[in-house]
Structures are given as C-alpha cells and as structure tokens.
Amino acid sequence: MDKSLHLTVCVLTALLLLRESSQAGEEKHPEVLPEDPYVMVRGAELEGYCMELLAALAGMLRFQYRVRVVGDGQYGAVAAGGNWSGMIGEILRREADIAVAPLTVTSAREEVVSFTTPFLQTGIGILLRKDTASQDMSFFHFLSPFSKETWTALLFAYLLTCFCLFLVARLSPCEWNEPKNEENHFTFLNSLWFGAGALALQGATPRPQALSVRVIAVVWWLFTLALLAAYIANFTALLSSGSEQLPIQTFEDLVKQRNLEFGTLEGSSTFYYFKNSKNPIHQMIYEYMEKRREHVLVKTYQEAVQRVMDSNYAFIGESISQDLAAARHCNLIRAPEVIGARGFGIATTQASPWTKPLSIAVLKLRESGDLDYLRNKWWESSCLRQSRERWGPLEPPALGGLFLTLGIGLALGILAALAELSSSSRRAAAHAKKSCCSVFTEEICTRLRIKGAARQSQDTPGKANA
C-alpha cells in the first residue's frame, strides 16, 4: 500500500502522442500531429488506442499521469552532434518518464533507452488498390474449381471408362447372345453417351444388363458423384469470395509485375531496411526505388494512401498502418506477406524501475485478451457490412464462359441436324431424280409445318410448265 501511494505522488508520466508510420531512425521527420487511431482529439478530451492502453496500465499499476505532446514532433533520431531528438531525447533528458506511442523498438534506440514488451506487432507490407490488385475475372471462370491437370485427368478417365464399357459389353455374353443376328447396344458412341449422362447425374440408355458392365457403371457413378460434389463446393467458394486470388502475394510477385509502380516513405526505416538487406529480392526493390526516387518515394503517409487510391501505385510500409488504411478505405487491401517483423514498445529510461512492471502489465493485458480487444476496436472495419449491402445476384461475367459453351453446343447441334437432314435429302433426291435444294426445302417445310411455303414450292414447277 505504501508503494502504491509513493507511485501516485512521485510518478508523472508524459505521454508522447505520435504516429510513426515506419519512420523509426530517420534523419528527417515531418511534423506529425496526433492521429487516428492512436490518439484523436474529441473536444477537450483525447481518445484512442494509446489513451486506453495508458489508462489500463495506470489501473493495473496504480499510478497517475499527465499527458503532453512531444515538443519537436519527432519520434527519436540521432542528430549530427550525437544527441537524440523527439521522444527518445526527452526520455534521456528526463523531461518525460515514459513514452507511450507507436514507437518502433530498434537496436539504436535500445542502446540508449529501455523498452517494454511490445504491445503491438507490425512489419513491412504492401498496400494495394483492389481493382489493380485483383485479376480480371476469366471468361471461363466456371473452369476455375479444377486445375488444368485435373481437367486433363478427368477427360482421360472418362474416355478410358467408356472404352472399358464398350470392351466389356462386347466380351460379355449377357449383353448379346447371338452376335451375328443381334445388335450390341453398347457401341462406342453409346458408351460415350452413357458416361456423359452419368457426369450430368442423368439416366442414359442403353441400360447395362451384364454384371461386369454394371460393376463398371456403378464405379463410374460413384466417381462422378464425388467429382461433382468437389466441383460444386469449390465453385461455390470461388463465387462467394467475389474475386480471384490476389496476383501479388509476396514482394517477389511485386518485383516481377510491370503494371504497378511501388515505393515507400522517403528516408524512412523501411527504405533503409531494403537498402541494407542482403536478400536479392529486397535489393531489387531498393534499386528500383533508388533509380525512380523522384517518382515513387512519397513525403507523408497520407500522400502514400491517396496515391494508392488514385493511381496504379503500391505502397510499401508499416503493415499495421496499412491494415488501418484498408479498414478505413474499402477499396484498399494489404498483400498477405509481411517482412521485417518489429514491435511497438513503451520507452523508459535505462535505470527506470518501471520497465519490468510495465512489461508484465502488457503481458497480462495480452493474456487476458484486452490488447486484442483494443486492436479490434480501433482497427474496426465497416467494409464487411458495406460489402454485404452491395451483395446481389451473380453477374453474367462470372458465368460467361458457361453460357458461351452452351451456345456453341446449341449451334453445333443445329448444324449437325442440318447435316443429317442434308444427307437424307441427297439420298431422297437421287432416288426421286429431283433437285437436292428443292427436296431439302420441302423437308424443312414439312418438318417445320410451313404449309404455305411448301405449296408455293410445289406450284412453281406447274406454273413454269404452263
């Protein structure tokens, strides 16, 4: 109890409120004001993630605090004379006891101050606009549930099964007793039709009679049933997702593409991360940004977000800030890969007795789920609700290839019918010694019940003879 009273009287905590946006350790810092979601001004009060975190820590450790903004508007970097600026400088000069802010834990800062266990984890990610990041929906989108190899294997299995049906039906005496006098219904074409009927879950003739043929038929039916179940499940998942998988999943994908420019904050720690990295992909990213620095490097985080929304530009920066941008702007999305894992910690003096208690308090907040609650609260997105409101019937482009296939099938069916009718007309014309065109026209008129046209065609020869 005495210790708690001592803390209440003696500890004055200065809260340094800024948003870092991946600028830890940079030499030039633009002036930054308190910003959503870390700190927001609501009238005369301050609210935000950092304010609620500080209140939770004060409640656990029983101390009082006074809040003020860092004087020079910086997070902390080494100046030319070796002195630290920003929050780190104020901690070193004992102008503040602790700094609660999105302050990145770096090796240079760890040498002069102490950090608690990180309360937020972040890294380097890629921010994209959805319409530039998503692939155009394929016209044959209905083929997407299966890979090319799967479709090839399905076609091979279909042909092999139909051939086995044809062969077994030929060999089995139960399908035909007298081959010289009977006709086997399981011709190869009929076998193909039987297999296609099973794929469509439709009954098709001929019906198998021999046990051997029925075994093959049952196995094929079970195969097609499982295949269709897998297809329907995958196709439903693709349609409900609303888009294809992002083509830019990793930084390697970003380097290989040519449609998007990409860059980061000028002079930020993200820029120097790629400069110092030995990874070949990271070196390629740095060389690209260095050669085009006048066009791809931005001055502020707000400029970066606006450029992503307005042009074909991908922003490389702090992943947690990109998550916030994606939550606030529903047309933005962050690519899955995150590199350069880092954390935001609370800074104290190296000799401060509060580093360990604060670290333990942060761990307790994490174990109790309070940190996750704060993260979800202040990074809450309204995009899911908006997407549900915009949801409607499937648009034709998603099934365009399927309709095209149906149209082609109908056209081929009509052409095949005309070809069959033409062949029959040629035989009839040769037998009756008439013109093939006249017989073909008569056949069409008869089958379509066009009596007037048929009479006119019949009256024309009579008038000509008169």
Residue 78 sits at φ, ψ, to 5 deg, of -80, 125
Q: Is 104 labelled as part of a ligand binding site?
A: yes
- Distance between terminal CA atoms of the chain? 130
Locate tokens 């190296």: which residue? 350
Distance CA 247, CA 206 (A): 47
Helix/strand/coil for 395:
coil
| Residue 226 CB burial class (10 angstroms; 0-12, 13-18, ≥19) | exposed
Q: How many CB atoms lie within 10 A of CB 401?
A: 17
Q: What DSSP string describes 2-15? A: HHHHHHHHH--PEE
Q: Is 102 labelled as part of a ligand binding site?
A: yes
Pairing of strands 347-348, 98-99: antiparallel
Q: Is 318 labelled as part of a ligand binding site?
A: yes
Q: Which two tokens stand for residue 68?
A: 């003020």
The torsion of the CA quartet 368, 369, 371, 372, rounded to 10 degrees, works out to 170
Q: Are 168 and 219 in contact (CB under 8 A)?
A: no
Q: Is 269 labelled as part of a ligand binding site?
A: yes
Detail the residues annotated as belonging to a binding site for L-glutamate: 102, 104, 109, 269-270, 318
Return binding residues. Answer: 102, 104, 109, 269-270, 318
